[in-house]
Structure 1
Amino acid sequence: MAGVGGMLPRDAAAPIPQPMPIIALASALANASPDQHRTMLGENLYPLVDHLEHEHAAKVTGILLVMDQTEVLHLLESPDARACG
């Protein structure tokens, strides 16, 4: 059964989907059109944001995608940059 907004409820015991390795993502971004960059970064950010802030994951991901691409890659690469204080 679908949850709010058509999304399936998250299973707390389910493993967190891992983003693409940063080197692979950077290479894919280099070979992608500028229009594809936001989608590719969002697909990698969303699972991490969803784990930290499930209820607002889409909105928070969208806000993060406004940042410079280099900063977004840094967030994906560094667990310390993602840590909530």
Structure 2
Amino acid sequence: RAQFARGKRRIEGGGRKGGALRNLFTHLATCGYCGSAMHFLNKGVGPGGGTYLKCSHALRGLDCVPTAWRYQDFERSFFLFVKEIDLAEMLRV
């Protein structure tokens, strides 16, 4: 059973798959400074709370810029940028 579970995680990825979709950029977003994966953080409600994307190296105190993006701001910026891309032109062979 353990080997089956490990194999399944290798193909599908670990973590929760149900409920509300939280992070559209899972396994896609990487740090612009060091290239490591970006992690989704939920800091709850209140001042400084909310959801963020932060570099995994910065989270572990390794050599990277320790800044985080507010997830909503990142998502909004991403979709505004993508909207301006001419996909038909990019996909033309």
The TM-score bracket by the shorter chain reads under 0.3
Over alpha carbons, which structure has the higher Rg? 2
1 or 2 for the larger relative contact order (CA 8 Å, sep ≥6)? Answer: 1
When the two structures are superposed, what TM-score results if normalisation uses the length of structure 1? 0.27
Q: Which has the higher helix share?
A: 1
Q: Which has the higher strand share?
A: 2
